[in-house]
Amino acid sequence: MIHFSKVLLFSLLPTLGLYAAVSPKLIQNIEDAAKRSFLDPKLVQAVVAVESNFDSKATSHKGAMGLMQVMPETADYCDVHEPHHAVNNLMGACECLRKLINRYQGNLQLALAAYNAGPSNVERYKGIPPFKETRNYVKRILRKYSELKNRSSR
């Protein structure tokens, strides 16, 4: 980690080779939301890095919004009423991720696949759906999660 003028240069994005500037306050918000939902903060950081590159105003071409890219149809289920509000997005999306991890008895790969493609697709294919986007998504999250865990153990 490199500290620069109250901004934490935190996330090396392997696909772009760029650093994302992340405020210490946002890192604290991620940690708080993760702990509230009994998630590893490093996992949530990995999801946020891959989903939005730490941009709370991010909106995908499919309409997913905020740090953890919540889709409009799942925002109510996740209790995300202000998807571009960092704390609301994190708290609601972390609860959804926790529910998915519980649903798949701790199988993080299936939970992440369901977070990306929806639980109905995980059920239909009895595992990670054969969608290239979803398979790449799960790999990217797990790779980033591993990097973050390894970085903190040094």
Which residues carry out catalysis? Answer: 51
Ordered DSSP codes for 14-71? TTTTEEEEE-HHHHHHHHHHHHHTT--HHHHHHHHHHHHTT-TT-B-TT--BTTTTB-
Residue 106, SS3 per DSSP: coil
Rg value, the chain, Cα = 15
